[in-house]
Structure 1
Amino acid sequence: MASRIFRDSNKDNAGDFIGESAVTQSCEPCMKTNISKTATVFCKDCDEYLCDTCKNPHTVYKPGQHNIINVQDNTSAPVIIDMKGMDKCHEHARKIVFFCQDHSKLCCLSCVHIHRKCDQLDEIAQVSRQTRPDLQAIKQSLIKLRTEADAIIAECKQSETGLNESIAKISAEVDTMKDRIIQLFEEAKQKLISEAIQFQTAKVKRIGNQCDASLKVKEELNNVLSMFCFVIERGTPSQQYIYSEQMKEKRKTIESTIDEQRKITFSSTMTVSFPKQVTSLLEMGSNSIKLNYDGYKTVDNSSISLSSPPWPVTLELLVSVDLPKTGDNVKEPFLTGLDFLHDGRLVAVDNFNWRCIILNERLQRLGTPYKFKYHPYSVVCVSHDTLCVTWAGKAVCLLSVSTDNTITLTRKIKTSSKFRSICCMSPSNMVVSTYEDPRHARIISMDGVESDFDHSLTFPMKTYKPDESNCTYVQSKNTLVLTDQLAHTVYMYDTVNGTSRAVTNENIQEPRGACVGPGDTVLVCSENNNSIVHLSVDGNILGTYPVNMKLPSSICVSKDGTRLAVSNRLKGIKKLHVYKISPVMS
């Protein structure tokens, strides 16, 4: 087979784009019938390559002289390049012979039937003799594009290397911070123990002095009492009378001494307290350290870390359960309050059946539900084992939850307002929404002390019914969020600057429950749209997520921000869903 490889000057013409190209001579008559055979001879008079089969018919039937030579002997004839299918029509697999200027399309004989009415359909063999394409310019542009591709590849590799180095740097920075915190706590511990020992030494000395004084009193009483025996048994009436009068004075003195000693009290225990910043850090758990990326860096006053800007998320349904009336329910369950414990267990309050329930990750009930005396409304987990529940009337109650899922009432707090929803503002304070009260949101401490937000916050001039408004509070942004069901509005209040904004959108229809979402965002149940709306604290809508339930009303997010629970209020078809939350980083 006659062939050769471009390796010198011709290599730049083709090899840069498609690699090395084999140059072969094919029989031209065979090619006209779509047969590929290698040419063995060349007719110099007809300027045509021929195979052994076509050579004889060529000389016999084609008029004129025919100077036939072997292909190997032809050094001046043009070569035919194997185009590797590029000269074939992609649609019909036939040889390209025309170019349609109207559609800028290379055409085969089959394509001509489609383009026969076009104004300018050129035969390539003819126009290629008249106009030479500027292949060098095209080649240079392709080389430039290859250079740009190389640059992008280099940037990608550099970015990948940078990310790998960032992970190592992040790990080192976190370890350094951890070591500093451990060292700080160790120093604080040593200082605390030293102070405790000094306190103990001083108190023990005072305790010793008190004990010595009491021992002297006891010794004196023992002597007096032993003398009493002799006087009573053997003393004369005169002696008994005299001793009696003297003992009356002695008794007053001893009583006075005993009273003074009794007033001196000493605690037998010492305790330790931690500042709010430390307890806040513990409450935040794994969320206390957050990732910065793409140059964003926003100060978070409630955390030692820097937070990222809000991003959209995706929701993946993990588990769904129906909530029918069962044997131990008086009525069909209606979950008006949801929250996750720090260990991932889900807490739900059933308004219709007056119960508090603990559920595992498969939404299976754990332990025995706690039975309230009134209809519960909402629940919030205020520590790893403490819940606070609002209920009908002017009261909230604190519940403790053990590791074996035993729920115990620890304290009932009477309030001056009627509360509906509840959420955490700090480790010691909670934010509650009200009903039948013009103050739509208030603050209540763990000790039961009620207070109001700054007067610069302007609430709508109305009062709500129990199910018309709910609240949540974004601690890091000092932002109070209130939903107004009938106004189809979500209010955002900056509690530091006293500013507010009312967020309305076609996606927000009868908003109900609200909670803090990943990245200090807000998730709201849009009841009439059967969806969850995701907002930033600036009021921007980050996404809308349909849920396979009608009238979603209650919602909460796990402490690590990876799971979302939502329940609905449709009579006869009540459901509870748990979703996996994943960020959309693109």
Structure 2
Amino acid sequence: MAANGNENMEYNSADDAVPGRTEKLLCQPCSSKDKQTEAGVFCSICDEFQCMDCSNIHKMYAFMKNHKLVNAKGIKKKPASFDMKGLDKCVQHHKDLEFFCEDENQLCCSTCAIVDHRKCHSVVEIQKIAGRSLSTLSELKIKFQEIGKKAETVVKYTKSSKERLNKDLKEVTVKIRRMRDNVMTMFDDLEVSVAKHAESFKTETLDKLSKKLSDSEKHIADATESLETIDNVGQRGTPSQQFILEQRMKRQVNELSSNVDKECQRLENVTFSFDFDETLKLPPFPISDYIPGQLKCSPSKDVKPIVPVKLTKITSIDLKQTGDDAEEPLYTGLDFLPDGRLVAVDNNNMKCLIYNEKLEKVGSYQLSYYPLSVVAVSDEKVAITSGNQYKIDFLCVSKSNDITLNRTCKVTTQYESTCLKDGRNFVAGTIDDTMPVRIVSLSGEEKDLSINFPNKKYPVDTCACTYIRNSDKVVFTDRYEHTVNIYDIKSNTRVVVKHNQIKEPCDVAVGPSDCILVCSTRTHSIVHISQTGRVLLSYKLDMKHPHRVCISKDKSVVAVANSEIGGKKLQLLKITL
């Protein structure tokens, strides 16, 4: 029996050999199962004699492949047990652990066995049961090795995360410095450009002012000379000379008076100034607003002041279920025709409707599908997207408000929001697609935009888009992220607008001076923001949950429809600057 009762090995020592008896080493894992199997190898790592079957465990686990197996016959004697370093001592009494209480599953010294476990039914000597632990030790070793591997993975990953964090923080500083350099370069270029234009303006203006000054000084000289002549002739001239002078001077004074009056009417105070838009200021946003995510800033090149629009209600109607309606109306698309008539599509009742400037219904057309959006493509033609069919219908709307189907083009994607990009293409928002906005031609050809949109799909009624033609920008709302994203197609940069006045933005339209009007559902308002992302105005509507918004072609009227159950409305608002 090995020291401290930690091993159970059966062999015939050379010192104890009996003449005629053959030395036999037994497999320790098999012995623990009361099987007498001759050992074929010895593993110094496992510290066991093993038969060939038991040693095959080294082939099953990758971390055991480096264990060294030697022929058991070459081992005369198993190495002595190593120092347990106090593990074989009772913590309470500091005596050798000699017993094991199977009732309470505890190791005991002689004192523990007598004092604490005298009432237990099964307290046995460790030496008698030590062989049972051999297979368990192998299992424990495997578990500890697996734990070590996992812990190493955690350590490796944690170190990698720390390194990455430090690297990212350094990169942020580098990016800010690079941005500062770019901004300084922009200001240097701006200074050169403004100075160039100022000098050109100065030269042109000074030439005009010099000519005006010269002409006016000549008028003074002519008037002074004429006064002297009149005085001299009046004092020393004959009556005939005075009469002749009077007739001459009448004509001259009229002509001179007319010239001077024109100069007086063209008086102007010439000044030159240069002002920055306040949106160039970058307030210190809390970093928590942008984790996770990224913030990309594009300084505005427009130095013109942005004036908030003013909205004033013109008229309003309640949208109620009529005799031929299956349900209460729900307008999912609005747009103005060039002549000012409003086109609406009713998703619940599958209709296309025409309203005049007083919001009187003047035309109606029954559709065979659930419409999602409508956009005017010419003086008398509109395009409608479908909520359950992959197509775009083009309808003719006559001056007399008759509506007829003109043609249909097939598409491969469902589109919810649409607006005209140019005379031949739409910018359209998709439904449940990895590319949330696409360009679709009037013939149905679809093309992706070269923009890094978020890698997510948007179900129906969770996003809307529009397009700013003059600056080549796509505006894209994310309803449940409460954000408005302004994408610059040329530079592939994004301005993210997140504000407490914007809650569940459902729709967006381009207003005067290319401002952006956002339909904020939860704040019951229309929010005016600049292209640089500054919130300029929030107009509280007298309707709940505004859902769709559009602007007339002359940018003077806004139409708004809501989605409030039992309180649906359609309103027209006047835009003033």
Q: TM-score range by the shorter chain?
A: 0.3 to 0.5
Using structure 2 for the length normalisation, give the TM-score.
Answer: 0.47
